[in-house]
Structure 1
Amino acid sequence: MTDTPPPGLSPAPEDTPGAPQPTGPTTAGGGQALVFDTTLIPSSFIGLSLKNGLLNLVTLTLWRFWGKTEVRRRVWQGIRLNGDAFEYTGRGKELFIGFLLALLVLGLPFLLIIFAIQFLGPMIAPLLILPLYIFLFWLVGFGVFTAYRYMASRTTWRGIRFRLGGSATNFGWKYLGVLLLTGITAGWYGPAGERSLAESLWRDLKFGDRKFRFNMQRSEREGVYGAFALGWFLTIVPYFLFIGVIVAIGVASGAYGSPNALASNDQPMPELAMVMIIYAVLLAFAPILLLIWSPYYAAMLRSITAGVGIDDATFRIDVKALPLWWLMIVNLFFLLITLGFAMPWVQARTAHFLVQRLSSTGTAQVDEALQTGTGPQSGEGLADAFGFSLI
C-alpha cells in the first residue's frame, strides 16, 4: 500500500517538485486563514470497494484492517488545507492488534460471569447482569475515545501530527452518564449530551503543540432543539404505523394464533419469513425516518462545527437538511444492493460532501506548530468490535 493518488486523480500542480506551495492569506501576526478543498473523486473508489469486498470474503473479513487503512490513506490524501493534503500514517497491523486486544477485553468478563454462574448457581446471574451492562456501555465510550485518539495520532499535515489528550476512562464514564440521562428523559437530553461529548474531544485535541478549543456558547447559538422536537414528535406517527403493519401481517399470516387460523388448520408463517418481512417494512420506513431527522442531524453538525476553534480561527459547515437526507438515502441504497461492498465509495462520497461545505474565518498559527508527543501503538480495536469505526 502506497500513498499514491487514487486511480483517476492526477497530481495537483502544487505536488510537482519545485512548484510553489500555496498557503492561506497571512496576517501581520503570522497567522494564516484556513482554506479547505478536496480532490476526492468518489467514483475512483469503486474499484477499491470491489477489491476490499472480495478480499474480505476470501479472508473471512480479516482483510478489513488493511482495506480500511487503504481507504483512509486515499480519503486523507484527497482532503487539502491551504493546498496541502492531509496524510494518514496508520497501518493495518495496528488495527489488527487493536482488535485482538479488544476481543480479550470483551471476552474476559463474559468468561468470568459464566464461571461465576457455574460455581455459585443461576441465582447469582441477575446480580451480575447489571454490572456487565454498565461495563459494556462504559466500554463503548472508552472505545469511541480511543478511536478518535488513534486516528488523530495517525493524521499529519505538513509533517506535523495531531494528538488527542485527555482520559479514555473519564470519557467512558461521561458517555455512560449521557446515555443514562438520555434514557431517563426519553431522548431529550441527547442534544446537550452530544455537545458535551464533542467538547470533551475537541478541547483536548492538538495540532503539534497548537491547542484546539471548543466554545460551548458558539455551539449553542446554532439551535438544535427545534429540529430535535420536530423529529421526536413526528417519529410517533411512523412508529405506530410500523407497529400496526407488523401486527396486521402477523394476524394475517396466523403468527399470532388467531382463532380463524387455528380452525382452518392454516400454518403460521415461518419465523424466517416474518423476520424478512419486518426488515422489509423497516427499509420502507427508513427514508421517512431519515427525512424526519435530517434537520436535526444537519443542525447538530453545524452546532458542533461552530464550537470548534484553533488560535483565532473558527469553523463553519454549511449543511442543509435535504442535501444531507439525499446523501444518507443514496449511501444506504448502494450499501444494501452491494451487500456492503460499496462502503469505501460511500465513505469517499461522504467526505467529499462535508469538505465541500467546510469553511473557516479568522487565522491560526499553523506554521508555528511544533511536533510533540507520540500516539498509541495499536488501533481502535474496541471501535471495530462494536461496529462504530469512524471511517
Structure 2
Amino acid sequence: MTDATTPASGETLTFGQTLKSSDFVGLGIKNGLLYLVTFGIYSFWARTATRRRIWEKVSLNGEAFSYTGKGLELFLGFLLGVVILLVPYLAVIGLTVVDKRFALLILPLYIALIVALGAAVFMAFRYLAGRTRWRGKRFQLTGSPAKFGWSYLGYFLLTMITLGWFAPAMSMRLSGQLWGALAYGDKKLSWQRSDKEGLYAPFTLAWLVGIGGYVALIVMMLKSMPTAGGAPDFAFIGRLYAFMLVYILAVVLASAAYHAAVIRAVIGAIRVDEARFAISLKAVDLIVLSLTNALILIFTLGFLLPVVEARSARFVISRLSSTGTVDLSNVRQAPRSSGGDEGLADAFGISSI
C-alpha cells in the first residue's frame, strides 16, 4: 500500500537543515571536559552524541535523519582494531629480534597494513550507513571490505609509481566502489561517472605547488646545514618553521580547487532511479570553511569540535540539490550491520564524522 504522501510515480528529493553553531557550543564544552577527565576514552561517546544531534537537524523532504550508533560500539570496535593491528606488528618485530631473517616479513606486513587501511575506510562507511535511518529505514553498504582493501592497495601503488598523478583516478574509483554499493533499505544507488567535471587541471596546480615547495625546502636545508661540531643555527630553525608554515598554507590554497572538483564529481555521479544530485561548491568556499574551522579549533583548544562538524555538515547540505524523481513507496528494511565496523578506522586514526 502506498503512503498518501509518497506518489507511486516517485518524488523529488529536497534537502534541508536547521544546524546552528550555537546549538553545539554546550555539547563541545561537555565533550571536551569529559574527554580530559577520562583521558580520551569518552571521545567515542562524544562522537556519538555529536552525530546524533547533527543527524536530527538534517532532513530530506521535510523528514529528519536519525543516528542509532552507540559509543560502546565504537569503543569496543576500537579495542578490537588495535589488537588486529598490533598483534601482527609486534609478532614480526619480536621474531626479527630473535632471528634477523624474519625481517623479510616487514614488507608483507606493510602491504597488509595498506590493505587493512582500505578495508577500514570501507567498514567505517558501512557503519555510518547502517546506523543512519530515514523514515525508519536503514541505509546499508554491500560488498567486501577485503576486496576494497586490495583495490586500495593497487591504486595506492599506482599513485606512488606515477608520483601522485594517479590520485584523481584513485579518488573517483574508490568513491564509485563505495557510493555504488550503497542502498537505502533495498533501494540501491548507482554510480555513473561523467567527464563533465575535469579533475586533472586543478590537480596539476596542487601537484606543482606541492612538489615545488618540497624541492625548495630540501635546497634550503642543504644550503644551511651546519658543519660538523658547529653550533645550532637558531635563526635558520626559525626560517625553516616559517617556510613550512607558508608551504602548508600554499598547498591548502592550491589544493582547494581540486578538492572542490572531486566533491562536485562524486556527488554528480550518484544516481537513485531518475534522481540526480549536484552541489554548488567553489574553491573559495572550501578555503573559507577550512580556515575558519581551523581557527575555531586552535583558539578553543579543540573544545568546539562539534561546532566545526556542524558547520561542515551545514556547509554541504545547504549546497546540495537534486533533480528527477525516485520511487520510495516500496522500500524494505535493510539488515543491521556490525557494531564494530568503525573500530579498525579508529585504530588507524581515520574515523570520519
Q: TM-score, normalised by structure 1?
A: 0.84
Q: Is the 8 A contact 1:287 1:329 kept in 2?
A: no
Deviation of 1:22 after TM superposition, in Å, equals 11
Residues 133 and 278 of structure 1, relative CA distance in 2, 3 Å threshold: farther
Deviation of 1:269 after TM superposition, in Å, equals 5.8
1:268 pairs, out of 232, 237, 240, with: 232
Separation in structure 1 between the aligned mates of residue 115 and residue 22 of structure 2, nearest angstrom: 38
Q: Is the 8 A contact 1:97 1:379 kept in 2?
A: no
Residues 39 and 155 of structure 1, relative CA distance in 2, 3 Å threshold: same
Which ranges of structure 1 fall in alignment gaps of 5 or more residues?
1-20
Which ranges of structure 2 fall in alignment gaps of 5 or more residues?
none
Aligned residue in 1 for 2:210: 235
Deviation of 1:387 after TM superposition, in Å, equals 1.6
1:226 pairs, out of 201, 217, 229, with: 201
> CA offsets per residue over residues 141-178 of structure 1, 9 Å max, x none?
01000000011000000100001010000000001111
Deviation of 1:375 after TM superposition, in Å, equals 1.0
Deviation of 1:379 after TM superposition, in Å, equals 4.2
2:161 pairs, out of 166, 177, 184, with: 184
- Structure with the bigger RCO (C-alpha within 8 Å, sep 6+) is 2
Q: TM-score, normalised by structure 2?
A: 0.93
Aligned residue in 1 for 2:310: 348
Structure 1 position 315 matched with structure 2 position 293: no
Aligned residue in 2 for 1:12: none
Larger Rg: 1
Aligned residue in 2 for 1:365: 327
Residues 115 and 286 of structure 1, relative CA distance in 2, 3 Å threshold: closer
Q: Is the 8 A contact 2:126 2:341 kept in 1?
A: no
Which SS does the other structure have where 1:175 is aligned?
Answer: helix
Instruction: After TM superposition, list the pairs within 5 Å mapping 1:187-266 onto structure 2.
Output: 187-216=164-193, 218=194, 220-243=195-218, 251=224, 256-258=225-227, 262=230
Q: Is the 8 A contact 2:11 2:325 kept in 1?
A: yes
Aligned residue in 2 for 1:167: 144
Aligned residue in 2 for 1:330: 292
Q: RMSD over aligned Cα, in angstroms? A: 2.3
Deviation of 1:238 after TM superposition, in Å, equals 3.0
Which SS does the other structure have where 1:366 is aligned?
Answer: coil
Residues 240 and 376 of structure 1, relative CA distance in 2, 3 Å threshold: same
Structure 1 position 38 matched with structure 2 position 17: yes
Separation in structure 2 between the aligned mates of residue 237 and residue 115 of structure 1, nearest angstrom: 41
Deviation of 1:279 after TM superposition, in Å, equals 5.5
Deviation of 1:258 after TM superposition, in Å, equals 3.0
1:151 pairs, out of 128, 131, 147, with: 128
Separation in structure 1 between the aligned mates of residue 35 and residue 145 of structure 2, nearest angstrom: 30
Q: Is the 8 A contact 2:92 2:102 kept in 1?
A: no
Residues 68 and 278 of structure 1, relative CA distance in 2, 3 Å threshold: farther
Deviation of 1:43 after TM superposition, in Å, equals 2.7
Aligned residue in 1 for 2:59: 80
Separation in structure 2 between the aligned mates of residue 345 and residue 247 of structure 1, nearest angstrom: 43
> CA offsets per residue over residues 86-138 of structure 1, 9 Å max, x none?
1000000100110011011011102211331233x22431x121111101111
Which SS does the other structure have where 1:161 is aligned?
Answer: strand
Residues 225 and 45 of structure 1, relative CA distance in 2, 3 Å threshold: same
Q: Is the 8 A contact 1:99 1:379 kept in 2?
A: no
Separation in structure 1 between the aligned mates of residue 302 and residue 349 of structure 2, nearest angstrom: 13
Instruction: After TM superposition, list the pairs within 5 Å mapping 1:21-100 onto structure 2.
Output: 29-100=8-79
Separation in structure 1 between the aligned mates of residue 340 and residue 241 of structure 2, nearest angstrom: 36
Deviation of 1:341 after TM superposition, in Å, equals 2.3
Q: Which moved more, 1:307-316 or 1:340-349?
A: 340-349
Separation in structure 2 between the aligned mates of residue 379 and residue 67 of structure 1, nearest angstrom: 18
Which SS does the other structure have where 2:119 is aligned?
Answer: helix
Separation in structure 2 between the aligned mates of residue 111 and residue 149 of structure 1, nearest angstrom: 29
Q: Is the 8 A contact 1:152 1:162 kept in 2?
A: yes
**Letter of the structure 2 residue corresponding to residue 348 of structure 1:** A
Separation in structure 2 between the aligned mates of residue 329 and residue 241 of structure 1, nearest angstrom: 25
Separation in structure 1 between the aligned mates of residue 245 and residue 295 of structure 2, nearest angstrom: 10
The percent of aligned pairs where both chains have the same amino acid is 43
Q: Is the 8 A contact 1:34 1:363 kept in 2?
A: yes
Q: Is the 8 A contact 1:95 1:380 kept in 2?
A: yes
Q: Is the 8 A contact 2:74 2:339 kept in 1?
A: no
Which SS does the other structure have where 2:351 is aligned?
Answer: coil
Separation in structure 2 between the aligned mates of residue 108 and residue 244 of structure 1, nearest angstrom: 41
Separation in structure 2 between the aligned mates of residue 235 and residue 257 of structure 1, nearest angstrom: 26
Which SS does the other structure have where 2:352 is aligned?
Answer: coil
Residues 228 and 313 of structure 1, relative CA distance in 2, 3 Å threshold: same
